[in-house]
């Protein structure tokens, strides 16, 4: 009985609620900005907690090409992107976490404007960055 209960608990702790591909596609299509960017500068601030850590990521990137842009971004412009990654000891259900971009990495980015209008945030959770 203990073995069954332990197996059940371990199995449940590894479950992740995935977002349907249709929902991800809709988030990407509704993103205000769909840009191909190159990460020129990446800063990560790590905050440790008792159940994991939080990574606050700040990216300065140059726009390589524009798929669409409500703000009128053009190739060659520099944009700032800010997002947070929560890494817990026991994975939490929900959408996938984004990755930390590496300096020099080029990705297709689905982004929305933040309240301050100075930075961009992720539009499609862990699916906001795709290979171009």
Q: Which residue has the higher pLDDT, 19 or 114?
A: 114
- Give the up-direction half-sphere exposure of residue 9: CA atoms within 13 A in the CB hemisphere: 7
Report the alpha-carbon distance of residue 120 to residue 57 in Å, rounded.
12
Report the alpha-carbon distance of residue 122 to residue 35 in Å, rounded.
12
pLDDT at 96: 85
pLDDT digits (tens, 9 = 90+) for 9-60: 344 333 445 789 999 999 999 999 999 999 999 999 999 988 899 999 999 9
CATH of the domain at 125: 2.40.50
Q: Which two tokens stand for residue 26?
A: 């809709």
Which residue pairs, CB below 8 angstroms and at least 24 apart, start in 90-93?
Answer: 90/13, 90/51, 91/13, 91/14, 91/16, 93/15, 93/16, 93/17
CA end-to-end span of the chain: 50
pLDDT digits (tens, 9 = 90+) for 68-108: 999 999 999 999 999 999 999 888 787 889 999 999 999 99
pLDDT at 17: 52
pLDDT at 92: 79
Domain total for the chain?
A: 1
Average pLDDT over residues 103-125: 96
pLDDT at 117: 84
pLDDT at 16: 45
Report the alpha-carbon distance of residue 120 to residue 61 in Å, rounded.
11
Q: Which of 75, 66, 78 is nearest to 118 (CA)?
A: 78
What ranges in 1-132 are assigned the alpha helix state H? 2-13, 21-30
pLDDT at 28: 97
pLDDT at 126: 94
Domain hosting residue 73, numbered range? 2-130
pLDDT at 67: 97
Answer whether residue 8 shows pLDDT above 80: no
């Amino acid at each position: 009985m203990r073995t069954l209960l332990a197996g059940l608990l371990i199995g449940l702790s590894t479950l992740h609620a995935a977002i349907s591909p249709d929902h991800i596609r809709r988030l990407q299509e509704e993103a205000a900005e769909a840009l191909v960017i190159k990460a020129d500068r990446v800063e990560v601030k790590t905050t440790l907690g008792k159940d994991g850590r939080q990574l606050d990521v700040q990216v300065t990137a140059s726009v390589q090409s524009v798929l669409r842009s409500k703000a009128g971004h053009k190739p060659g412009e520099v944009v700032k992107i800010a997002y947070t990654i929560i890494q817990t000891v026991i994975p939490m259900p929900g959408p996938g976490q984004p990755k930390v971009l590496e300096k020099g990495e080029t990705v297709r980015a689905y982004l929305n404007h933040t309240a301050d209008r100075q930075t961009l945030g992720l539009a499609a959770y862990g699916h906001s960055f795709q290979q171009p």
